[in-house]
Structure 1
Amino acid sequence: MTDAALSADLPLDEARNEAQGLTDRIIGARDAYYGRDAEIVDDATYDGWMRRLEELERLYPELQTQDSPTLSVGAATSTLFAPVEHAERMLSLDNVFSLDELRDWCAKAQGAAGRSVRWLTELKIDGLAISLRYENGVLTSAATRGDGRVGEDVTVNALRVAGIPQRLSGTGHPPLVEVRGEVFIPVAAFEELNALQARLRQRVYEDSRARGADDERARRSADRRFPAFANPRNAASGGLRQQLDKKDGLELEAGEARVASLRLFVHGIGAWQNPPVASQSEIYALLAEWGLPTSPYFRTTEAIDGVIDFVAHYGEHRHDVEHEIDGIVVKVDELALHDELGATSRAPRWAIAYKYPPEQVNTKLLDIVVSVGRTGRATPFAVMAPARVAGSVVRQATLHNQDVVRVKGVLIGDTVVLRKAGDVIPEVLGPVVELRDGTEREFVMPKDCPECGSPLAPAKEGDVDLRCPNTRSCPAQVRGRVEHIGSRGALDIEALGEVTAAALTQPTVPEVPPLPTEAGLFELTLDQLVPIEVVVRDAETGEMKVDEKTGDLVRRAPFRRNPSAAEKKEGLTGPQPSAQAITLIDELEKAKTKDLWRFLVALSIRHVGPVAARALAQWFGSLAAIRAASRDELAAVEGVGGIIADALIDWFEVDWHREIVERWEAAGARLATPGHPGPGAATVEGGVLEGLTVVATGSLEGYSREGAQEAIIKAGGKAASSVSKKTDFVAAGPGAGSKLAKAEELGVRIIDAAQFKLLVEQGPAALEALAPDAG
């Protein structure tokens, strides 16, 4: 809401009440975060409260008291630690949330400076601020931010943090210098820490049961002593601020592991009389010479566009960094300008934090339901109050299996921390334990399949996942397999999605579905489709919709329409096929001539994904040849191996699996590659990439993942899934990640999307003809 809108719509009394409510919530959240290492509200909500309070105080200045959260930093120190007064205040940072706001801030700072500005950009680490006080090169204290003036003494634990030296390297150290930095837990170490918590939780549970405690009491005791950490930031804060001398036994083991996981990057200075450098970037170089760990993720630039480029780059690659980040810090590099620009009561005017859209929010866990997929695996799903995270609204997230639910420590009814990293599947990180009110309940994994009633069981001894053994007839599995057939990675039939799959396998009319299994898919006719009726389900909850007036279930006929007026004049009176029905039949006909590897994927053979399917199709040339091959012959194909070979043999031993192949082939599906000479022909002979191995990774403009692999194969090359010394080229786009790093390490030639297009169309010689700096 703008100031103008506030002025028109909000009387002073209402503004005062709202400001007081916001102040109470912000202070409560700060006290929980800084005082108890608990995050009772997510960053996005907290930032929204602060911005709203700032707007109110800007419109009505009389509402801004001296102790307003907009004028203060952090929270008061707790009584558990000795106070440490900072020689120079530890300020916070003001935030901007859009690139336009960032450009405006940069322009304003440059205008205030009255001359051109060099910018330093660096990652905003999602951790705990710390101030290290060195006197003549010796560490005398380490303190948290506290309220900006007085922090908490955490020196004992800080001395155990990797990278914090007790004595600085080199000579010529100042009598007093405060080094400011951020303590964090790397993502990999955080995962190991939660795994340890899970092991200790299980030990406590087993000990409690052995002493006679019932299951629920034992679980709650274990969860209380060793809860799963919701995020690395809270785990780091609590790790640095814990009192190990008051712990023993398992708690001491967990506490020591938590401290051992801590790391530090320094990012500035506090008190320091006359530093012998002129810029922030030179400070970093000097701190590194002293043996302090500086972040490798910073850059200086003369142009505002360079700042924007840095923000954009790490917006795409924020998960390639070893630690969590929530934004970018932009600083004026020249130290003299720091003094000229000055600071407000809580933040410097020479630095700003650009905050990325939130990837982590809090929401309510409404229920945990179990879904059965095409492989029969029974998977618990979190059903949550809708929450916007990383640019989209999330309502569900997989919890994988009952053990994961237990490890995460979530109860139905909890407020949970939800994360969605870019386009990655949403993940529930853990509960906000402080917000429990006693109404929460534990999730209990069902013993029977929720769709067909068959007893759930592991596929083999030792498996954690439970599966429905009714593979042929379980409605959920049949529906899932039919939907999978239409997916992009299989036969790519646009008209065959989730709703169509449900209509074909679980209609209310007719009583016997057109597809009891996928065997009859290519035999479908319009006459079979027109009578189908299905129950309409809510898109958010999956529950069947009920007509409010009649109380009956709402049904629809997706493949049926009434004849038009013109058709009635021509004598047509009965129900007619809908456009959707006609499209489905047409696309099924087209799908019959798709590549062999797509049919292999469509059959839902365990472990046979696109990579293995391509390798098999290239080598054998037909499904008949694959079926006739021995285990050794199958396993010998590069990219296949023994596990996939066994899965293929096991699949073909099932009679109703063989029926699928036979009926598809009888219906006209082409289960062989035309012109293929037979087993042993692994690549396209004579192609421009014959004898070459290419890895495609990341987003290559103009190609899907499967399209890039197909282009390599059609050019006669080998489309490999991993980088090795035998790799000739790595085509890398945004999001390339570890494969790009491996290519750089091995010295494999790396090309972009445009060069990849030249490579697959014209061969390596076309790249050599480019300018030397093009590759």
Structure 2
Amino acid sequence: MNSMTTTSAVPSGLPALSDSAAYAQAVRDARRAAAAYYEGGTSALDDDAYDRLVRAITVYETEHPDEVLPDSPTDKVAGGAVEGDVPHTVPMLSLDNVFSGEEFTTWAASLERRIGREVTSWNVSPKLDGLAVAARYQEGRLTRLVTRGDGTAGEDVSHAIGTVEGLPDLLTEPVTLEVRGEVLMTAAQFEYANEVRTEHGGDPFANPRNAAAGTLRAKDRAYTVPMTFFGYGLLPLPGTDATLAAELQEAAHGALMDRAAAWGVNTPASTQVPGVVVTTVEQVVEQVERIAGLRAELPFGIDGIVVKADLAADQRAAGSGTRAPRWAVAFKLPAVEKITRLLDVEWNVGRTGIIAPRAVLEPVEIDGSTVTYATLHNPADITRRGLLLGDQVMVYKAGDIIPRIEAPVAHLRTGDEREIAFPAACPQCGSGIDTSEQRWRCERGRNCHLVASIAYAAGRDQLDIEGLGHTRVVQLVEAGLVTGLPDLFDRLTREQLLGLERMGETSTDNLMAALEAARKQPLSRVLCALGVRGTGRSMSRRIARYFATMDGIRAADAEAMQRVDGIGAEKARVIVAELAELADQIDRLAAAGLSMTEPGATPPAADDDPETPGADAGPLAGLKVVVTGAMTGPLEQLSRNQMNELIERAGGKSSGSVSKNTSLLVAGEGAGAKRAKAESLGIRLATPDEFAVMVADFLG
């Protein structure tokens, strides 16, 4: 949480402060929220709500300068809510904020007017969402760890030394200095911390930031959980070698981070979003957009991008205010987490019989869209997070990711919350529930949702049976003609179809022809149509390409299944068990003439051969390919799934998102954000026509 001022007009949507009484109340609310956050890692407000409140206070103070209250948070580090007992050798300030490219441009122009020249270079780095600390080293050994506090003095948290990854107890050289940075929890560390905390009877943390703040301050706990440090500054201490002190004071920010990394300190340079140095305001905005585009893929939280004058001379010329340096600013990103209320839990049954809980939320605006539902994964997830109906919950959403509940905000409970009732019988059919796995399942399995299961199998990206939509499947099931997928191929007759309502000779013959065509679909489509848990279109293609035949797939044990890219130990076990459960259906489909081989694929050389088989040879071998936009030319009639199949037949790996690991982007007409992201990462681009030439031998 950061107390923030802006440098231009404040956007709409801020709380209305109509008079001095409303202003005074807003100041009190902001102080309470800041105190709860900085002192205990909790708050009644999420970051976005706090930012909007403080920005409204700033607007009011700008319009009524004679009414500014002495305890206003707008000119104080940590909102003026905390005090420390360990003095900082140099004030440890906060950052002012901007919220758009236009605001940054205005801020940059103001900075250049202040220093009387253009800024020589800009450093652009992720704004890590954690707790700022100062780590003091004496002759290379970490001796003290201090929080930012009120900027002039902080809290001694040296008891946490040794528990923070990336903050070594001993540097690679015996230097005396202070390393400043951010302590946070990665997504994996946060999940582990909540598991350990709830096992010891504590309430789960609401989010990784609060978890890091609370854990760093905690003393005398019966357990420890890991945290991660990222450095963002170096400065001399009393006792620092004079030559080194001069170097630290004169070095550019980028050079300081290189020194820190060389001494063993963790910095963003080791991540997908290392700090970069650019020379123009336009380049800064481009880098901000690039980092923002990677936000959802990062293993840790960021709530913005820090932009600072890179050179020490420019920083000295700009100076600092009472709460923030004038040479650096935080470019804040839209909030991806908000606090809202859990109203209900729905229990939905999927096509394979999986019973999945879904949270019903009080509608909340997150990252540009209204969120009313969130995933809860499984009953064990609900229990582990300690959720209750009526809880205020922290909801997280980033990019296209389905919103999820991170944890209840336990300190906001009123006592009116209620236990969540788990179903005693299948919500779909009333049968018993298999609770032996974390994901509960109807004892009838696929037969619970027979219509959905068969309609899925008949879909365009599976067996592509034209004329067999949801309504027709319902008709077949209700007439007793189909009780499982194989019935479509070894029991259903033309005469039976003609006996159904609204089934004339033409529609019957068309459906029979579509069923005949489905027999020629490749193994990957058949495997996908079976709806094996733990697989989908992409994974079914990978499995089929690896083993080449259904016999090869069925002969694989869990160890062999793990050799397929993307399959871990747990998923491998589930897939093998599912295939055994589907044995009768597979046998019947094979007997009915459906293809049980994958064109162009060859089996592994030997059972114990860990290498991907020769099927992956081809013009795209070793390449990760993303397709975006509308295809044209020879590719015009291909669906996105067919494009992905083509990529994998040609030896590549298909993906739906652009990242630094992407090798090639096929950019069709209307390619937008993915193309821009690929260009910013320097990823190779191809038009549909160029790509068609590359894979011509596999178009068939």
Task: Using structure 1 for the length normalisation, give the TM-score.
Answer: 0.68
Q: Is contact 2:112-2:118 (8 Å) kept? A: yes
Q: What's the % identity of the aligned pairs?
A: 31
Q: Structure 1 residue 466 and structure 2 residue 466: aligned?
A: no
> Could you tell me which of 391, 394, 419 is aligned with 1:414?
391
> Could you tell me which of 212, 217, 226 is aligned with 1:236?
212
Q: Is contact 2:624-2:652 (8 Å) kept? A: no
Displacement after TM superposition at 1:19 (Å): 1.9
Q: Structure 1 residue 151 and structure 2 residue 154: aligned?
A: yes
> Could you tell me which of 669, 689, 709 is aligned with 2:644?
709
Displacement after TM superposition at 1:700 (Å): 3.2
- 1:425–1:733 CA distance, 2 compared to 1 (3 A): closer
Q: Secondary structure at the match of 1:653?
A: helix
Q: Is contact 1:619-1:681 (8 Å) kept? A: no
Aligned-partner Cα distance in 1 for 2:156–2:547:
69
- 1:48–1:486 CA distance, 2 compared to 1 (3 A): farther
Cα displacement string for residues 227-258 of structure 1 (whole angstroms, at most 9, x for unaligned residues): 222322112111221122xxxxxx42x2xx23
Aligned-partner Cα distance in 2 for 1:168–1:634:
47
> Could you tell me which of 113, 116, 123 is aligned with 1:114?
116
Aligned-partner Cα distance in 2 for 1:588–1:423:
39
Aligned-partner Cα distance in 1 for 2:22–2:499:
63
Corresponding position of 2:95: 93
Q: Structure 1 residue 370 and structure 2 residue 312: aligned?
A: no
Q: Secondary structure at the match of 1:442?
A: coil
> Could you tell me which of 341, 353, 357 is aligned with 2:318?
341
- 1:584–1:384 CA distance, 2 compared to 1 (3 A): farther
Q: Secondary structure at the match of 1:228?
A: coil
Displacement after TM superposition at 1:608 (Å): 5.8
Corresponding position of 2:693: 761
Corresponding position of 2:528: 601
Amino acid of the structure 2 residue aligned with 1:196: V
Aligned-partner Cα distance in 2 for 1:529–1:394:
42
> Could you tell me which of 19, 39, 51 is aligned with 1:47?
51
Q: Is contact 1:92-1:347 (8 Å) kept? A: yes
Corresponding position of 1:445: 422
Give the root-mean-square deviation of aligned CA atoms. Answer: 4.9
Amino acid of the structure 2 residue aligned with 1:735: S
Q: Secondary structure at the match of 1:239?
A: helix
Corresponding position of 1:72: 76
Displacement after TM superposition at 1:153 (Å): 1.8
> Could you tell me which of 462, 470, 481 is aligned with 2:453?
481
How many residues in Structure 1 have an aligned counterpart in Structure 2? 623
Amino acid of the structure 1 residue aligned with 2:659: G
Aligned-partner Cα distance in 2 for 1:361–1:493:
43
Q: How do 1:170-181 residues align onto structure 2 when only pairs under 5 Å count?
A: 170=173, 178-181=178-181
Amino acid of the structure 1 residue aligned with 2:189: A
Corresponding position of 2:233: 267
Q: How do 1:661-676 residues align onto structure 2 when only pairs under 5 Å count?
A: none
- 1:719–1:163 CA distance, 2 compared to 1 (3 A): closer
Q: Is contact 2:186-2:300 (8 Å) kept? A: yes
Corresponding position of 2:626: 699
Displacement after TM superposition at 1:56 (Å): 2.1
Cα displacement string for residues 467-526 of structure 1 (whole angstroms, at most 9, x for unaligned residues): 11234653xx13432553465643568999xxx84x66789xx99799887767999999
Amino acid of the structure 1 residue aligned with 2:440: L
Q: Secondary structure at the match of 2:181?
A: strand
Q: Structure 1 residue 61 and structure 2 residue 65: aligned?
A: yes
Greater C-alpha Rg: 1
Corresponding position of 1:569: none
> Unaligned regions of 5+ residues in structure 1, if any?
202-224, 245-250, 532-576, 666-670, 722-730, 741-749, 766-775
Displacement after TM superposition at 1:330 (Å): 0.2
Range that drifts further, 37-46 or 108-117: 108-117
Displacement after TM superposition at 1:182 (Å): 1.2
Q: Is contact 2:388-2:419 (8 Å) kept? A: yes
Corresponding position of 1:353: 330
- 1:393–1:527 CA distance, 2 compared to 1 (3 A): farther
Q: Is contact 1:132-1:141 (8 Å) kept? A: yes
Q: Structure 1 residue 651 and structure 2 residue 654: aligned?
A: no
Task: Using structure 2 for the length normalisation, give the TM-score.
Answer: 0.74
Aligned-partner Cα distance in 2 for 1:4–1:358:
16
- 1:73–1:709 CA distance, 2 compared to 1 (3 A): same
Q: Is contact 2:250-2:313 (8 Å) kept? A: no
Displacement after TM superposition at 1:712 (Å): 3.5
Aligned-partner Cα distance in 2 for 1:630–1:688:
15
Amino acid of the structure 2 residue aligned with 1:429: E
Cα displacement string for residues 702-754 of structure 1 (whole angstroms, at most 9, x for unaligned residues): 5776344322455xx34568xxxxxxxxx9971365999xxxxxxxxx98342
Aligned-partner Cα distance in 1 for 2:127–2:501:
56
Q: How do 1:314-713 residues align onto structure 2 when only pairs under 5 Å count?
A: 314-458=291-435, 462-471=436-445, 474=448, 477-482=449-454, 484-485=456-457, 489-490=461-462, 501=470, 593=517, 595-596=521-522, 597-606=524-533, 609-610=536-537, 613-614=540-541, 631-632=554-555, 647-648=578-579, 650-653=581-584, 682-683=600-601, 694-695=621-622, 697=624, 699-701=626-628, 706-712=641-647
Amino acid of the structure 1 residue aligned with 2:70: Q
Displacement after TM superposition at 1:417 (Å): 0.8
Aligned-partner Cα distance in 1 for 2:76–2:466:
56
- 1:444–1:65 CA distance, 2 compared to 1 (3 A): same
- 1:654–1:517 CA distance, 2 compared to 1 (3 A): closer
Displacement after TM superposition at 1:424 (Å): 1.8
